[in-house]
Copies of this chain bind each other. A is one copy, B any other.
Amino acid sequence: MSQRVIKEILSQEEIAPKHFKMVIDAPEIVEGAKPGQFLHLKWVDNIGGDPLLRRPISINDMDKDSGELSIIYRVLGRGTELLSRLSKGDKVDIMGPIGKGFSIPKEARKVVVVGGGMGIAPLYPIVKELLNKDREITLFLGGADEGQLLNLKDYEEMDLELKTSTVDGSHGYKGFVTDLLEEALDGADYIYTCGPEGMMEVVQEKAKKLGVKGEASLEERMGCGTGACLSCVCKIKVGTKDDWEYKKTCTQGPIFPVEEVIFNG
């Protein structure tokens, strides 16, 4: 059940150049939230103003006990630039949690998780949940440089196989995260992925080749975040053959079966 609440920022920190982590006190949101869901945010100062629309940002972490949640975002345009100027005590207007979230099928014993760039942000909650449920995880993180490997320190302390890659070689393999994938996929039951479309397309292709099913988290420009405006649609295969239909990334997603997504549609 989604709701709208106005909540206080507990802290905001620049964790890498142009990358910010914000912690918000929002027990009502945390209570019903699932890994893979996102928030639709507005900073209170801009109500009715400019920029006009909300911004969708994934939940990066949440603590059911304390009621705190955190997001990680990159400053891209005017909206995120203004968000980055806020600090402890300022308020944000939250709609959430939104979307279907990831699922964890029983048969997914050996899983591969692939995150690229900002796409790493929404994966942290599902990785935690998979560990809770004792699944065997190989986690691939890719980014331009070490700073972009979000939650790296946290992952290093977890019981999982971690493979990193950076374009500039500052951490792990020098190159693209997808270069490393094939070996790990062989024998895996399930895959979770989030990142640039180009990356996810390669993931999809490789997973298909090895018959591994899984889930992908998509991004589209959003208006309402309620399923009303039809601005956020993505092409999802239906039936056999090449049939597809538009599905809403906000309420029918943002998580879709990876094998059913038509990228660059």
Interface residues of A (CB under 8 A from B): 45, 48-50, 82, 85
Kindly identify which residue among B45, B49, B82, B85 contacts A85, using a CB–CB cutoff of 8 Å: B45
Task: Give the oligomeric copy count.
Answer: 2
Bound-complex Cα distance A50 to B50 (A): 6
Assess the A82–B45 pair: CB atoms within 8 A. yes
A48 cross-chain contacts in B, Cβ below 8 A:
50
Listed A/B pairs (7) with beta-carbon separation below 8 Å: A45-B45, A45-B82, A45-B85, A48-B50, A49-B49, A49-B50, A50-B50
A49 cross-chain contacts in B, Cβ below 8 A:
49-50
Bound-complex Cα distance A48 to B85 (A): 17
A233 → chain B closest CB, angstroms: 29
A50 cross-chain contacts in B, Cβ below 8 A:
48-50
A90 → chain B closest CB, angstroms: 10
User: Which residue of B is nearest A85, CB measured?
Assistant: B45
Bound-complex Cα distance A82 to B46 (A): 10
Bound-complex Cα distance A85 to B82 (A): 15
A69 → chain B closest CB, angstroms: 25
A82 cross-chain contacts in B, Cβ below 8 A:
45
A55 → chain B closest CB, angstroms: 16
A261 → chain B closest CB, angstroms: 36
